[in-house]
């Protein structure tokens, strides 16, 4: 008797400059991954066709039949209606009222499931990354912005119109905070993103001319969040002050979320997370001040491990759990 064939999945992670694609086996192992540029011309109308062609070409190159694949799981930026895979607005891409799921299904001949890019990255980390089997997981991505994904009992929380998990727009500075891209002021993103951290360091830099950071700035004419964490590790007192301020806001926001959600894993990803222990140690310290004792006992912090692969792996997880019967 023949074994029931295990299907493969296609993960697609759409970004503003590149589209990441991957073929993954039934267990989420990447069999092939590659990238194509994001063509934003004519309000992004060619993107689905480019994805379909890239997938067809790769199948041909690898001599794999389309029947091998159960479907496509795709992450996209912007405001998405999960049920229909309809994109209301994706600023970085140029889409407005774009029927992404329908178009991609027609062009690839495969079933498609769409979710927000931060959410599929969280699912990827849960399945194959730092989540390590956790079913209740809070994912915070610290990049140029602050993104998030909230998973409870193995499922991403979307909320009533897809806005759940917008951790970056929790208000951290209620009065006189910096302006955020969302139109509000004082969002977590303005104080804990890579840009936010640098902004905080710049605020009092000229009154801290003995700091390593002042010299770095004079030499490079700019600062990065990495410079700040490195200086803090070297016990530079101004850098330590900046890190304390940043981790206070971040620890407070995460503790408040954790008090409501009681996660077992709190995964920190994005470029800023490369600071590793220099970030985690002060962050845990702040978190522990505001988390309930049992919430604190139940949760572990971890740095995301999948990097740029998290999205395509999360896409495969969506296909496996939502499309494979």
Size of the site for Zn ion (CB under 5 A): 5
Binding of Zn ion by 180 (CB under 5 A):
yes
Binding of Zn ion by 187 (CB under 5 A):
yes
Binding of Zn ion by 170 (CB under 5 A):
no
CA angle 6, 10, 13 (to 5 degrees): 150
3-state secondary structure of 261: helix
Binding of Zn ion by 163 (CB under 5 A):
no
Least separation in angstroms between CB 175 and Zn ion:
15
Binding of Zn ion by 169 (CB under 5 A):
yes
Nearer residue to Zn ion within complex by CB, 71 or 186: 186
Q: Give Cα separations from 310 to 69, 73, 166, 276, 323 (angstroms).
A: 19, 12, 18, 18, 19
Binding of Zn ion by 184 (CB under 5 A):
yes
Least separation in angstroms between CB 205 and Zn ion:
24
Least separation in angstroms between CB 180 and Zn ion:
3
Nearer residue to Zn ion within complex by CB, 112 or 194: 194
Chain centroid offset of residue 208 CA:
34
Nearer residue to Zn ion within complex by CB, 12 or 191: 191
Q: Give Cα separations from 123 to 115, 146, 319, 320 (angstroms).
A: 10, 17, 11, 12
* Residue 10 CB burial class (10 angstroms; 0-12, 13-18, ≥19): buried
Q: How many helices (H) and strands (E) does the chain have?
A: 12, 13
Q: What whole-number distance in Å separates Cα of residue 257 and Cα of residue 254?
A: 5
Nearer residue to Zn ion within complex by CB, 11 or 196: 196
* Residue 3 CB burial class (10 angstroms; 0-12, 13-18, ≥19): exposed
Binding of Zn ion by 91 (CB under 5 A):
no
Residues, the chain: 325
Residue range at the interface with Zn ion (CB under 5 A); choices 6-14, 74-82, 169-177, 235-243: 169-177
Nearer residue to Zn ion within complex by CB, 131 or 168: 168
Nearer residue to Zn ion within complex by CB, 59 or 178: 178
Residues that bind Zn ion (CB under 5 A): 169, 180, 182, 184, 187
């Amino acid at each position: 008797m023949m074994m029931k064939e295990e299907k493969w999945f296609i993960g697609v992670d759409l970004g503003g400059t590149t589209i990441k694609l991957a073929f993954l086996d039934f267990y989420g192992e990447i069999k092939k991954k590659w990238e194509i540029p994001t063509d934003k011309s004519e309000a992004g109308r060619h993107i689905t066709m480019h994805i379909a062609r890239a997938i067809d070409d790769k199948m041909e190159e690898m001599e794999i039949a389309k029947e091998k694949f159960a479907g496509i799981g795709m992450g996209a930026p912007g405001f998405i209606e999960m049920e229909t895979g309809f994109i209301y607005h994706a600023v970085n891409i140029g889409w407005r009222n774009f029927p992404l799921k329908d178009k991609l299904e027609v062009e690839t001949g495969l079933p498609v499931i769409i979710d927000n890019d931060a959410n599929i990255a969280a699912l990827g980390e849960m399945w194959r990354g730092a989540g390590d089997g956790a079913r209740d997981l809070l994912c915070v991505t610290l990049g140029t912005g602050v993104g998030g994904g909230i998973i409870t009992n193995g499922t991403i929380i979307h909320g009533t119109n897809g806005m759940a998990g917008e951790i970056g727009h929790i208000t951290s500075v209620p009065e006189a905070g910096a302006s955020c891209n969302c139109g509000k002021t004082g969002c977590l993103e303005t104080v804990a993103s890579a840009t936010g951290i640098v902004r905080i360091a710049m605020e009092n830099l000229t009154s801290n001319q003995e700091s390593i950071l002042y010299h770095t700035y004079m030499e490079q004419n700019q600062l990065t969040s990495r410079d700040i964490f490195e200086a803090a590790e070297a016990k530079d007192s101004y850098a330590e002050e900046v890190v304390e301020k940043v981790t206070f806001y971040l620890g407070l926001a995460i503790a408040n979320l954790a008090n409501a959600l009681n996660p077992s894993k709190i995964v920190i990803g994005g470029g800023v997370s490369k600071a590793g222990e220099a970030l985690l140690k002060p962050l845990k310290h702040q978190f522990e001040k505001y988390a309930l004792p049992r919430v604190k006992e139940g949760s572990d912090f971890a740095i995301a491990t999948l990097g740029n692969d998290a999205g395509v792996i999360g896409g495969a997880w969506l296909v496996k759990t939502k499309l494979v019967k």
